[in-house]
Amino acid sequence: MTEWLMVIITAVYVVATIVICVFNGKSAKAAKEQTETARQQIDEMIRQYNESNRPFVIIRFEIIRSGLLCFVVENIGPVAAKDVKIKINNDFIENVEKVDKDSHIRETSKATLFLSSHQKMYILLGGQTQFSEIASVPARINISYNSKYTEYTEIDLWQYRFLLVYSSELEDISQHLKHIENESKTYHNKQLKALTKDGPVSVLLHSNDGSKKFEIYKAVCMNPGSTTEYISECVGIPKKDALDILIELDRVDRFVKSVSYIDDDYQAKWYRR
């Protein structure tokens, strides 16, 4: 009985040892997998950190100042880009030089640049009137910087030919002000040409010197077709004075015109020119 009891105890011990070894193997495997996962996570965190804390130089095409064709080189990374070299394919450079003999794009492609974070530099290609000739050859661009980063970009300018390039609200305001200025100059030139040579040049001013010229002109604008008599009543001056000023506005300033009555000038109807 003692011998069989020892055999049973030994067998139980062996089985228990095997079970323990199996569970130890699974635990070791799980621990190894966890370690590998943690290592991969750490590597990914390091990679993401390095990617978010490195310079990143890009190049794109823009039309600025309402007609200048440019390549814009920008460092969109949070740290500076050093030893930036921009290599553009020679056939594109030759085509630009053929369109514009004064182009400096070849010299730019030989330069070594420094770009701080979010700094931009513009490479002038030509004017918008030269777009078709410049866009006939695609640009293939290699950018290297910081001795370890390289970026390749291909820009086919021809695809932009039907697109409207919007600059900014400030550009809109600038163009609108230029339009107003041109209209103002045109208006004043017309007024100067309309002045007769027989009388002195009269200036229409709103003043407090007793003259009612501005008030009379305003009355004509606000009440087209009014008679001299009605205008004099609106302004509050005698009919004769009102008629004299209306004649001056007509013959000198060329701001008003009348439909005259032969028998009574005070019944003439006045209109703004």
Estimate the crossing angle of helix 239-251 against helix 213-222, to 10 degrees: 80
Q: What number is the average pLDDT over the span 216-223?
A: 88
On whether the CB atoms of residues 220 and 269 are closer than 8 A, the answer is no
Q: Is the pTM of this model over 0.75?
A: no
Distance between CA atoms of residues 188 and 185, nearest Å: 5
C-alpha closest to that of 68 among 141, 171, 178, 179 = 171
On whether the CB atoms of residues 54 and 80 are closer than 8 A, the answer is no
- 94 versus 264: the higher-pLDDT residue is 94
**Helix intervals (H) in the chain:** 2-52, 90-99, 105-109, 131-134, 169-194, 213-222, 228-235, 239-251
Each residue's pLDDT tens digit, 142-169: 999 999 999 999 999 998 887 766 666 7
Each residue's pLDDT tens digit, 165-214: 666 677 777 777 888 888 877 776 766 665 544 444 455 554 444 468 88
Residue 217: other Cβ atoms inside 10 A: 21
**What is the Cα Rg of the chain in Å?**
43
